[in-house]
Chain A
């Protein structure tokens, strides 16, 4: 063997037919497992659910008896999960760089786009699992509300289920993914997420109060503001409000997500 014989050597092929590609469902299952197999991951999800329980209990005591309907209790997990599900998505992605296990992940599946898809599926799966648990907690909360004097209605608007719970949370999860892939560092991405979801809307609120012109355009360009009709009122945005969700969502979700994916497909995991 010599350094120059490379081109003349006769490569011995691997038997590729013996190993089919790793199915996407298996990759997604592994990613789901990875979100739960560390103390950090498990405790984070347990903490979210505990927080939901705590808020449900406080609400059962604090709310007026006529506001102890199932729908009211369902808004608790809706709101709490809205803030924390994106962080699950963030950790799912950033741990690959921050904990460096991306070296192994992307060696076992070098087609990175498949890993990205698997992470999306796992993130959605986790979100759904946590939402279902949240739903169960809302039922328990409503029952507890009866103990504290409520006589609840169990009816639900489709708006709250489809828009406030499912759609708003799915949007949140993907905002988390976008930030995670853009920033690729766990603490920084979480800080970024809180800036996006707390500081940004607050700043926008102040500016809206100061300027009439900005007040009009804010929901078109700021995603949190645009989503307000999804998660409050009668949970059914008007046509114009949907258009605002679409335009601001393009700016704050679609574009960052596209850049984030582009970046993740290229960066060197070290």
Chain B
């Protein structure tokens, strides 16, 4: 498990990480979420001793990272998949890691197979790797020493949909076997699907944390997107109940909870093809919590009209 205690890192007058405390439990995937420049990478760099904290500390399994002998055997780290010598082959990069950690050569082949890099690709130089291939190699490198703790900075970056699904499964399995996983992202929907716990950071400070349910508790959904076989009929039925309805995309936007729409549709025997909450979910929460730390005001985010309304506060 990873324990971050009152961690602060300043660069001159600028505070990149500001009094951050959290815990990543074993057996759970913890998502570390925040907009660009929020301090995620800096926090993770402090965890593995690459950056010195200005104050506060991080322990992994009760130890400072620098006090862990042969740390690659305990903590798997992926900070930046392209931070490797561009002239080395993928296989060589893993071989160096395996040799440092004192692992047999066979481990390299195992890892290459696990991340689906074939023999020919493993022989290519890193500079000729695609983004996703680098990422796979980085994940293989992190898992090389069979660690019990994983620290991954934007692991899904560059992975194709199949790769992302594979990684999700991998990390879930890993946590189910008792491993501790911390992964960062600025893509909410990505973390939402993998993480058991979430830590939201904005401008160096933690703005919220907890499970998805805990985070959503207290935020109600007050609008729904719905598409029915007969949209007009549904619109009339909703309006009859006093719900404001507007056309949105191929369907409607109703200013009420999705459950209300479902109830009306059931009563009127209207067939729905799609029903989901419009805003009010994690994304809204995330955007509102980190609002003052966003680079763009959320309402200006270019997107479909309905979504734009949904995210306006």
The answer to whether A13 touches B71 (Cβ under 8 A) is no
Tell me how far the C-beta of B89 lies from the nearest C-beta in chain A, rounded to whole angstroms: 8
Tell me how far the C-beta of A111 lies from the nearest C-beta in chain B, rounded to whole angstroms: 6
> Could you say which of B6, B61, B63, B210 contacts A1, with CB atoms under 8 Å apart?
B210
Alpha-carbon gap, A200 to B54, bound state (A): 41
The answer to whether A3 touches B209 (Cβ under 8 A) is yes
Residues of chain B lying within 8 A (CB to CB) of residue A39: 87
**99-144 of chain A: CB within 8 A of chain B:** 99-104, 106-111
**89-109 of chain B: CB within 8 A of chain A:** 92, 96-97, 99-102
Residues of chain B lying within 8 A (CB to CB) of residue A13: 61-63
Alpha-carbon gap, A27 to B100, bound state (A): 6
Alpha-carbon gap, A30 to B96, bound state (A): 6
The answer to whether A14 touches B60 (Cβ under 8 A) is yes
Chain B residues within 8 Å of chain A by Cβ, number = 56
> Could you say which of B6, B45, B63, B83 contacts A104, with CB atoms under 8 Å apart?
B83
Does chain A have a CB within 8 A of B284? no
Alpha-carbon gap, A89 to B82, bound state (A): 24
Does chain A have a CB within 8 A of B3? yes
B16-28 CB mask vs A (1 if < 8 Å, else 0) is 0000011101100
Does chain B have a CB within 8 A of A7? yes
B51-91 CB mask vs A (1 if < 8 Å, else 0) is 11000000111110110111111100101101111111000
Does chain A have a CB within 8 A of B1? yes
Does chain B have a CB within 8 A of A38? yes
Does chain A have a CB within 8 A of B48? yes
The answer to whether A107 touches B77 (Cβ under 8 A) is yes
How many inter-chain contacts with C-beta < 8 Å in the A-B complex? 136
The answer to whether B21 touches A26 (Cβ under 8 A) is no
**156-215 of chain B: CB within 8 A of chain A:** 197, 199, 206, 209-211
Does chain B have a CB within 8 A of A37? yes
The answer to whether B101 touches A22 (Cβ under 8 A) is yes
**241-296 of chain B: CB within 8 A of chain A:** none
Residues of chain A lying within 8 A (CB to CB) of residue B70: 19-22
Q: A1-B25, A107-B48 are in contact. Are A99 and B85 (CB under 8 A)?
A: yes
Chain A residues within 8 Å of chain B by Cβ, number = 44
A237-248 CB mask vs B (1 if < 8 Å, else 0) is 000000000000
Residues of chain B lying within 8 A (CB to CB) of residue A18: 73
The answer to whether A107 touches B71 (Cβ under 8 A) is yes
Residues of chain B lying within 8 A (CB to CB) of residue A9: 1, 3, 23, 25
Query: Which of chain A's residues has its CB closest to B11's CB?
Result: A268
New A-B contacts (11) at CB < 8 Å, excluding given A3-B206, A26-B100, A103-B50: A3-B22, A6-B6, A11-B62, A12-B62, A19-B73, A21-B70, A27-B100, A108-B100, A109-B71, A110-B71, A266-B52
A-B contact pairs, 26 of them (CB 8 A): A1-B25, A1-B197, A2-B209, A6-B21, A7-B5, A7-B21, A11-B61, A12-B26, A12-B62, A14-B60, A14-B63, A19-B73, A22-B70, A22-B102, A26-B100, A27-B100, A30-B96, A34-B85, A37-B88, A38-B88, A100-B84, A107-B48, A108-B97, A109-B100, A110-B49, A268-B51
Binding site for B on A (CB under 8 A): 1-7, 9, 11-14, 16, 18-22, 26-27, 29-30, 33-34, 37-40, 95, 99-104, 106-111, 266, 268-269
